[in-house]
Amino acid sequence: MRKAFALPTVAIAAAAFPLLTMSAASAHSGSYQADLGALNQSGVSGTGMVTIEGNQATVMIEASGLLAGSPHAQHFHIGALGQCPTDADDKDGDGFLSTTEGAPAYGAIGTSLTTTGDTSPDSGLAVDRFPTADNGTVSYERTFEITDDVHAAFDAGTAVLVLHGVDKDGSGAYDGDVKSDLDPALPMEATAPAACGPLTAAQMGTAPSGGAETGAGSTAGTEQQGALAFGALALTGAAAAGPWPTAVVRRRTRPDPGRSCRAADHPARHEPTPCHYPRRTS
Amino acid sequence: MLVLVGVVSVVLVVTGQRSAPQPAASTGERSESVAPSEPSPSGEAPTGQNRPSAVAEQVAEPVSVSVPSIGVTSDLLRLDLNDDGTVEVPPLGPDDQAGWYERGPAPGAVGPAVILGHVDSAEHGPGIFFDLGALRPGAEVTVNRADGTVAVFAVDRVETHPKDDFPTIDVYGNTDDAQLRLITCGGDFDSAERSYEDNVIAFATLVGTRPA
């Protein structure tokens, strides 16, 4: 009886508020930014930028001051206050603000910002798939699908970017007597939060992906393009044999699907885009 | 022999063509700042924890841009995103115009306002931002707005970055004050890809507003 009654109610509601159902279906898109502040006196600073389009998130993180040569787990934490803890939240007084002690402020792991593969909370400690801070810096970019709970956390202002791993005793490695609250096989230094920033709506409503194609031309002038291409090709062939500058054809080997020189990624969309004004003249 | 053929044919094509000016210090693989006085070249100034723009300043939408030192005056088109998430660029035509990226802040509001223009086109020659790379720190950029007010910016620096290593956070990330980025293409023209390899970006800061 209840069921029979409920169904028409839904139908009536949908008919009465078509716009409501529409807007629920079209997910919010936009850019978010986190200014990373240090935790556990890590000295880490940096910025995270996340652009969400549908259920796809493009995540960029630039951070410095991290323990060099060591992996740093990084996550979206969700489901709490959307804030960062302070070192004073070291409840057990072991000298570390642990990941667990930070949870009342930033919540549980919602997304593991791995370099490859799974991004679920299951990969929260997959140290072999997190960035290693060469020279103490991390420059991360990846586009992947986010889950509905994470998406909702961004909308609600409760998503927080957290980077983990801090060499608190300055030994140059993750070590020490205090064990991790997350995995007793690991030292606390390997998992304690090093930097944190709430993700809030960026001033740039939606940050464009990659660079801008502001130098392309129209379809004219292809005969000269042909000559240019031929010259460049010949130079490429010669470069292997002699000390000739490869300026004309340099930097063609880094197609990065995430951000891009779009003409390279999608030649069909943009070609032909010749232009008569190369900078290098010899 | 190959070398000879290559050089000869490149030189043949290039002879008689104009070349867009580049920022003085743009020859390295990595971008470099033109302004030696810039205190923190790569925008890594320690910023506080989230600092939402304190005053949600209402700024009228831009209608035109002028850069007197390089002879630029242009009405502004509205630019959105392409389907692939890249930024739209103005359509090519004999009367090349610059455009304002409308999903970003309006020029004069706190944040990184973005104006894009072509460096050139095959059919129509030099574009509206052909000389952007020649801009020097201190150069004035003015943006006329729909309410008749004029936002006056001063160029801080001009940088060149590979498109495939675009400094998204530096260019599009939050700023503490009202900023403007003028973007065009530059660097080497990759004839195989038929595209410039770099973007030239002029960073400017609001220095004043003139009343209507």
Read off the pLDDT of residues A122-148 as tens digits, 9 standing for 90 and up: 999 999 999 999 999 999 999 999 999
Q: Are B172 and A259 in contact (CB under 8 A)?
A: no
Task: Look up residue A25 and give its amino acid.
Answer: A
Does the predicted interface ipTM exceed a cut of 0.90? Answer: no
Whether the per-residue pLDDT at A266 is higher than 80: the answer is no
B166 CB near a chain A CB, below 8 Å? yes
- What pLDDT is stored for residue A210 in this prediction? 86
- What pLDDT is stored for residue B24 in this prediction? 67
B136 located within any domain: yes
Question: What chain A residue is nearest to B80 in terms of C-alpha separation?
Answer: A208
How many pairs of residues across A and B have Cβ atoms under 8 Å apart? Answer: 297
A7 located within any domain: no
- What pLDDT is stored for residue B57 in this prediction? 56
**How do A108-112 and B120-121 pair as beta strands?**
unpaired
Mean pLDDT of A81-102: 97
A1 located within any domain: no
- Cα distances from A158 to residues A177, A192, A201, A273, in angstroms, run 33, 20, 11, 44
Check B197 against A254: CB less than 8 A apart: no
Which three-class secondary structure state does DSSP give residue A268?
helix
What's the whole-model pTM score? 0.72
B185 CB near a chain A CB, below 8 Å? yes
Highest mean pLDDT: which of A27-36, A238-247, B22-31, B61-70?
B61-70
| Residue carrying structure tokens 């490859």 | A116
- What pLDDT is stored for residue A248 in this prediction? 30
- What pLDDT is stored for residue A215 in this prediction? 63
Mean pLDDT of A66-79: 98
Give the whole-angstrom CA distance, residue B27 versus residue B88.
Answer: 27
Nearest Cα neighbor of A138 from A207, A72, A221 is: A72
CATH of the domain at B137: 2.40.260.10
Give the whole-angstrom CA distance, residue B74 versus residue B61.
Answer: 15
Q: Are A40 and A97 in contact (CB under 8 A)?
A: yes
- What pLDDT is stored for residue A172 in this prediction? 96
Give the whole-angstrom CA distance, residue B53 versus residue B44.
Answer: 19
Give the whole-angstrom CA distance, residue A98 versus residue A165.
Answer: 10
CB burial of B7-40 (b: ≥16 within 10 Å; e: otherwise) equals bebbeebbeeeebbbbbebbeeeebbbbbeeeee
Domain hosting B121: range is: 2-12+52-211
Please, what is the average pLDDT of chain A?
75
CATH of the domain at A127: 2.60.40.200
Query: How many domains, in total, are found in chain B?
Result: 1
Which of A210, A242, A249 is nearest residue B163 as measured by Cβ atoms? A210
- What pLDDT is stored for residue A182 in this prediction? 94
Lowest mean pLDDT among A35-44, A53-62, A265-274, B38-47: A265-274
Mean pLDDT of A211-234: 44
Whether the per-residue pLDDT at A264 is higher than 70: the answer is no
Higher-scoring residue by pLDDT: A258, A163 = A163
B93 phi, psi to nearest 5 deg: -170, 175
| Chain A contacts in chain B segment 84-123 (CB below 8 A) | 84-87, 89, 92, 101, 103-105, 110-112, 114, 116-123
Lowest mean pLDDT among A31-40, A155-164, B19-28, B180-189: B19-28
A166 located within any domain: yes
Which of A236, A262, A282 is nearest residue B11 as measured by Cβ atoms? A282
Q: Report residue B24 CA to chain centroid gap.
A: 15
Check B164 against A244: CB less than 8 A apart: no
- What pLDDT is stored for residue B41 in this prediction? 40
For chain B, the straight-line distance linking the first and the last C-alpha, in angstroms and rounded, comes to 65
Got the DSSP string for B111-152? Answer: EEEEEE--SEETTTEE-TTTTGGG--TT-EEEEEETTS-EEE
> Which residue positions in chain B have pLDDT lower than 70?
1-18, 24-57, 187
Check A212 against B183: CB less than 8 A apart: yes
**How do A45-53 and A108-112 pair as beta strands?**
unpaired
A18 located within any domain: no
Which residues, 6 or more positions from B191, have their beta carbon under 8 angstroms from its beta carbon? A225, A228, A229, A231, A232, A248, A274, A278
A245 located within any domain: yes
Q: Are B78 and B100 in contact (CB under 8 A)?
A: yes
- What pLDDT is stored for residue B187 in this prediction? 67
A28 CB near a chain B CB, below 8 Å? no
Mean pLDDT of A94-100: 97
Domain hosting A84: range is: 28-265
B149 located within any domain: yes
Q: Are A144 and A77 in contact (CB under 8 A)?
A: no
Structure tokens, A146: 């986010």
Burial class (CB in 10 A: 0-12, 13-18, 19+), B149: middle
B150 located within any domain: yes
Mean pLDDT of A256-267: 29
Mean pLDDT of A163-167: 98
Question: What chain A residue is nearest to B161 in terms of C-alpha separation?
Answer: A211
- Which of A66, A206, A277, A281 is the best substitution to test chain B (most B C-beta atoms within 10 A)? A277
A97 located within any domain: yes
A13 located within any domain: no
- Cα distances from A177 to residues A172, A187, A189, B150, in angstroms, run 15, 7, 10, 62
Lowest mean pLDDT among A22-31, A151-160, B23-32, B73-82: B23-32
How far is the alpha carbon of B150 from chain A, nearest alpha carbon, in Å? 21
Give the whole-angstrom CA distance, residue A266 versus residue A76.
Answer: 31
- What pLDDT is stored for residue A73 in this prediction? 98
Residues on chain B touching A256 (C-beta within 8 angstroms): 164-165
Whether the per-residue pLDDT at A168 is higher than 90: the answer is yes
Query: How many domains, in total, are found in chain A?
Result: 1
B167 located within any domain: yes
Task: Look up residue A246 and give its amino acid.
Answer: T
Structure tokens, B33: 């700042």
Which of A206, A259, A272 is nearest residue B164 as measured by Cβ atoms? A259
A173 located within any domain: yes
Structure tokens, B120: 């050139």
- What pLDDT is stored for residue B122 in this prediction? 78
Residues on chain A touching B196 (C-beta within 8 angstroms): 215-216, 275
Give the whole-angstrom CA distance, residue A98 versus residue A39.
Answer: 10
- What pLDDT is stored for residue A217 in this prediction? 44
- What pLDDT is stored for residue B126 in this prediction? 84
Question: What chain A residue is nearest to B187 in terms of C-alpha separation?
Answer: A279
